[in-house]
Amino acid sequence: KQYKVAVVGATGAVGETMLSILAERDFPVGELVALASERSAGGKVEFGDEELVVQDLATFDPSGVDIALFSAGGSVSKEYAPKFAAAGAVVIDNSSTFRYDDDVPLVVSEVNPEQVRNRPRGIIANPNCSTMQLMPVLAPIHKLYGIERVNVATYQSVSGGGRSAMEELGRQTAALLSFQDPQPSKFPVQIAFNLIPHIDEFQPNGYTKEEMKLVWETQKILGDASIQVNPTAVRVPVFFGHSEAVNIETKKKITADEARALLREAPGVEVVDEHKAGGYPTPVTHASGKDPVFVGRIREDFSHPRGLNLWVVADNIRKGAALNAVQIAELLVAEGLPPKPARS
Ligand code: A2P
């Protein structure tokens, strides 16, 4: 079976990685269409050994597309995802536009793969990167021990903000090392050699939208609106890989040994937890460029009888975005999504 696959936002940080993951995992692609704005139409992107010419999304005819992976921002998804779905494509959308709609499944491939079948609008949403990496870790614990509450502080790399955000960290770092003004533009304040406790827009309750995504998406993916989540989302001057300091309170006590044993068996998770220098995952030493979610610093919370601490690190562009989108596409193939006949 050979599918016509479109990648929308193919020139972006996530889109580019979608292309390389599709090639690397040998996804059954018959034809691949790389789409972006008219700014980069006519340029080239790599797909395995091939070079593809980027086409302008605005003038592209989506009929014949089987699967469309969208990562070009919320407004692009809002306008074009329904058009692709109406033309018969299954849309896997990386923006937050449809995530909270009841008739759009929000899927982490290891956690709720069965949800891909419930797609009345032809749209499947890919979770936010910070929620994504937490789910393969929390799901098995929730199933056996019942999670009541999650306290999480994130340490999010700049690649989550797209290519321009990575360029800004590079530019500011170079500027500061040569005693020049860092000149913030993409970020509200200087990001180089700094931390910013502000990602996405402020909400009326004082949390940011990035923080509320962790609340809404955790409850939806784990299918349990009673789980309390208290997040703080922070941007850090790291290029690739998000980290999370996580404290959970369970209904039934889970020991650190039980958690380690459970997580060693969890799909998509790798335990790195030795009590020595470097015996824990970091974005640079473990996560960057890798598929699994890494977890370490597993320890019982001595301030709470049913508390557990974890340190969770993953490549936000891979598992946090592009990889999970491709894994959702693989679930569609496994379910037997019929490819459309080629038009003559
Ligand atoms: P373009 O290169 O033409 O701007 P990132 O998140 O790394 O900034 O990438 C965003 C991606 O979304 C890029 O591929 C970008 O393409 C694409 N994009 C942004 N705006 C539009 C648009 N209006 N139509 C199509 N693609 C868009």
Q: Whose CA is nearest to atom 12 of ligand 1?
A: 72
At 341 the pLDDT is 84
- Which residue's alpha carbon is nearest to atom 4 within ligand 1? 37
Distance CA 142, CA 266 (A): 12
Separation CA 57–CA 316 (nearest Å): 25
Q: What integer pLDDT is reported at residue 70 of this predicted model?
A: 98
CA nearest ligand 1 atom 18, residue: 72
Distance, CA of 96 to CA of 127 (rounded, Å): 8
Give 15 Cα–ligand 1 centroid separation in angstroms.
9
The Cα–Cα gap between 155 and 244 comes to 6
11 is in an annotated binding site: yes
Pocket of ligand 1 (CB under 6 A): 9-13, 15, 36-37, 39-40, 57, 72-73, 76, 162-164
* Residue 75 marked ligand-binding: no
For residue 58, the model assigns a pLDDT of 98
Which residues partner with 55 through β-bridges? Answer: 35
* pLDDT at residue 289, rounded to an integer: 98
Structure-derived torsion over alpha carbons of residues 94, 98, 102, 106, reported in degrees to the nearest 10: 0
Domains annotated on the chain, with CATH = 3-126+322-335 (3.40.50.720), 130-316 (3.30.360.10)
Whether ipTM tops 0.95, in short, is: yes
User: Probe ligand 1: pick from 7, 11, 18, 93, max atoms within 8 Å of CB?
Assistant: 11
Q: Give the integer Cα–Cα distance in Å for 94 and 106.
A: 10
Distance 9 CA to ligand 1 centre (A): 5
Three-state secondary structure along 254-311?
Answer: CCHHHHHHHHHCCCCEEECCCCCCCCCCCHHHHHCCCCCEEEEEEEECCCCCCEEEEE
pLDDT at 343: 62
Q: Which residues of the chain have pLDDT under 70?
A: 1, 343-344
* CA 211 to centroid of chain Cα atoms: 14
Alpha carbon of 73 to ligand 1 centroid (Å): 7
Q: Over the stretch 170-222, which tens digit does the pLDDT of each residue have?
A: 999 999 999 999 999 999 999 999 999 999 999 999 999 999 999 999 999 99
Residue with tokens 């996530």: 14
Give the distance (Å) from ligand 1 centre to CA of residue 102.
27
Q: Is 39 annotated as a binding residue?
A: yes
In contact, 293 and 136? CB cutoff 8 Å: yes
Nearest CA to ligand 1 atom 9: 12
pTM for the whole structure: 0.97
The set of catalytic residues is: 129, 242
